[in-house]
Structure 1
Amino acid sequence: MLENLIEKMKKEYIDGFFISNPYNVHYISGFREKFAYALITEKGKYILTDGRHKEIASKTTKGFEIIDWQQKKNKLKQAVDEIIKKEGVKRLGFEAEHLTYKKFTELYDMVDAEITPVIGLVEQLRVVKTDEEIENLRKASQINDRVFERLLKNIKVGKTEKEISALCNYYVRLEGGDTQISENIFLTGSRSSQIMASPSDRKIEEGDLLLINYGASYNGYLTDFSRTVVVGKEPTPKQREAYEVVKEAQMAAIKAIKAGVLAKEPFYASEKVFKDTGYRKYHYEG
């Protein structure tokens, strides 16, 4: 993995690479922490974090030198400058899509090297998943299934969206998911059309459509899981019709997914189903 990254660095004419996106830091090193950084050169590998995380960083990485940047007088920028001087870095790349302008100016003013933006260097490696990554995603998806089975036993008339949301978080942890959970979505009745709203104190009423959307994370690999259920009674003809349209569109999109096709092709396949059934105005892009 690192060998491939270094080859890509050479093609960008950089001999040092400062990684600030925490997902990319995790991918490269195995260390998962929001405020951690990595610096890669041809001969050196460094994790820059603070003292609270040094122990876990040393246990979850292999071959990386752990630097406590909080101990430096000028903090992160001094830590970076010391490394590039030690490694003889002349041209330091940074993640243009992630590093803030403030951090960039700090590095530019402090670091004794040419600072140059690069785009998608680690992401190009992440496109093709390793067997380990696929297994992480599989386990996260299996957690989703088990959580859904638990939720079905507790989704009842009178429960609030927030109550079901809290249960979901609890069940994800109980089933082995990561403790860092992104906000889930539970929207009932007329609120179910809002799609991306946060759970509220609204209570579930008999016959409501309940929109469910959450995603377990396992070893930092996040999934997405969405279902819609009718609570307390059989669905009405209109509810069933809408459900069947969405299901047909989903199947059309899945059928269109093949190696080599553009990502927009599955979208157009699902959109066609909505057009043919008169529901086009409800077909959202996300």
Structure 2
Amino acid sequence: MEKRTEKLTKLLDELNLDALFLTDLYNLRYFAGFTGTTGVGLATRKGNFFYSDFRYRSQAEAQVTKMGFEFVEVSRGSLKFVGEHAEKLGLKKIGFEDHNVTFSSYQTLKEVFKAELVPIGDKITYVRMIKSDEEIGFIKKAIEISDVAFSEALKIIKEGVSEKEIAGYMEYIQRKLGAEDRSFETILASGVRSAMPHGVASDKKIQKEEFITMDFGAYYNGYVSDMTRTVYYGNNITEKHKEIYNLVLEAQILGINTIKEGIMSDDVDKVVRNFLTEKGYGKEFGHGLGHGIGLEIHELPYLSSVTHIELKENMVVTSEPGLYFDGWGGVRIEDDVVVKKDGREVLNKSNKELIIIEAK
């Protein structure tokens, strides 16, 4: 694992701070290598410190030391010690992760630190946007696992099987292949429920002549995959089902082909949105085109109107347009894509052409 302490020092210079106080578990994993659930970090020019209690002593010592952090054992919940340590080090301006801190935690920090507290917004997460080759390797492995889970799930789809059963089976296959966990709650929405972009798996049974949308992923070594496929179950597919499916596929490929170094994140979304609007389906595409993935399932940059970030080599983003019709159903297709100097690389290998599973 590469050391990332240089990136922290650079941030201290850029933000004119004496220290960064790290509380977000994803950032602690990224910079300090810590995979537990309790601990905080302090990055300074005089050294980097990670504080946790005796339960994590051996784990944290092994993980953080090789990332350039010193492990400091404190009693559970003892921020007071961190404040005293910061005072001893003479730290006057300390940046904190305001997105990760509740109001009551902030009140505690003000009592604990005898220093000026500076909110740093998204500055730390910006650092995580460009992935190393090692990180991309972990994401690829997570995607390979999800690709297999998808092909295995197709084998158990039949009338009367519940959405939860299919979702559970996919999660089981991912675990069996080495995933630590699912990367988010599996979305499995069939029939009219496929019009719900976030329709998590329910007790609904699969019926003939309906779309089934599967949006799922795996965690591998801390990194996520995120893929969506929509399939048709039945023997009498309508022209409308085919038309909507192929339109979403065309939009999804257009999104992928628009991704390249140098383009702005919101412009990728705009290209696909304009295409679907021209086809008369602008209002049925109600969410952003995609988002960054990495340690988190949703991270910067967002391919949507809300984020204006220039895409750079080795960012990993999704392209996932969808069209949704209340009372009828919907289609979404999603791949994970690495931004390259001269274009992009699609990481998912699963088929995207319309799959029709015949009802026996």
TM-score by length of 2: 0.74
Q: Secondary structure at the match of 2:161?
A: coil
- SS of 1:187's equivalent in the other structure is strand
Match of 1:81 in 2: 83
Q: 1:3: which partner in 2?
A: 6
SS at match of 1:55: helix
Which secondary structure does the structure 2 equivalent of 1:97 belong to? helix
Residue of structure 1 in register with 2:190 after alignment: 188
* SS of aligned partner of 1:57: helix
Displacement, 1:162?
1.0
Q: Taking structure 1 as reference, are residues 35 and 203 closer, same or farther at Cα in structure 2, changes over 3 Å only?
A: same
Q: CA deviation at 1:240?
A: 0.8
Amino acid at match of 2:87: K
Shift of 1:198: 2.0
- Deviation, structure 1 residue 280: 2.0
1 or 2, which has the higher helix percentage?
1
Q: Please point out which of 35, 58, 62 is paired with 1:59.
A: 62
* Relative contact order higher in (CA < 8 Å, ≥ 6 apart): 2
Residue of structure 1 equivalent to 2:45: 42
1:234 is displaced (CA, Å) by 5.2
- Structure-2 separation of matches of 1:108 and 1:244: 56
24, 28, 39: which one aligns with 1:25: 28
The residue aligned with 2:137 is: 135
Verify the 8 A CA contact 1:16 1:89 in the aligned structure 2: yes
Q: 1:103 maps to which residue? A: 105
Residues 28 and 41, structure 2, Cα contact 8 Å, conserved in 1: yes
Between 144-153 and 29-38, the greater mean CA deviation after superposition: 29-38
Out of 114, 119, 122, the position equivalent to 2:121 is 119
Superposed, which structure 2 residues align to 1:172-251 within 5 Å? Answer: 172-179=174-181, 181-233=183-235, 235-251=237-253
Q: Which has the higher strand share?
A: 2
* Aligned 8 A contact 1:169 1:181 in 2: no
SS of 2:160's equivalent? coil
Structure 1 outlier segments of 4+, above 3 Å: none
Which residue of structure 1 aligns with residue 294 of structure 2? none
SS of 2:96's partner is: strand
> What is the SS of the residue equivalent to 2:137?
helix
Paired residues in the alignment total 283
Deviation at 1:49, TM superposition (A): 2.7
User: Taking every aligned residue pair, what percent have the same amino acid on both sides?
Assistant: 33
CA distance in 1, matches of 2:116, 2:278: 56
Please state how far the C-alpha of 1:265 moved relative to its aligned partner. Answer: 1.7
Deviations 1:93-123 (A, max 9, x none): 1012222221111010122222221223322
Cα distance between partner residues in 1 of 2:236 and 2:89? 68
Q: More deviation in 251-260 or 240-249?
A: 251-260
Change (3 A) 1:231 1:68: farther
Structure 1 residue identity aligned to 2:61: S
CA deviation after TM superposition for structure 1 residue 273, in Å: 2.6
In the TM superposition, residue 180 of structure 1 has moved relative to its aligned partner by: 5.7
3-state DSSP of counterpart to 1:268: helix
Residue 85 of structure 2 aligns to a residue whose secondary structure is helix
TM alignment of 1:149-160, pairs within 5 A: 149-160=151-162
User: What amino acid sits opposite 2:6 in the alignment?
Assistant: E
Which blocks of at least 5 consecutive residues in structure 1 are unaligned? none
CA contact (8 A) 2:183 2:224 kept: no
* Match runs of 1:164-175 below 5 Å: 164-175=166-177
> Structure 2: how far apart are the matches of 1:198 and 1:4?
38
- Change beyond 3 A, Cα 1:280–1:236: same
For 2:213, give the aligned amino acid: L
Amino acid at match of 1:44: G
Give the 3-state SS of the residue equivalent to 1:165 in structure 2.
helix
Q: Which segment is superposed worse, 174-183 or 158-167?
A: 174-183
Q: CA RMSD in A?
A: 1.7
Pick which of 57-66 and 93-102 moved more. 57-66
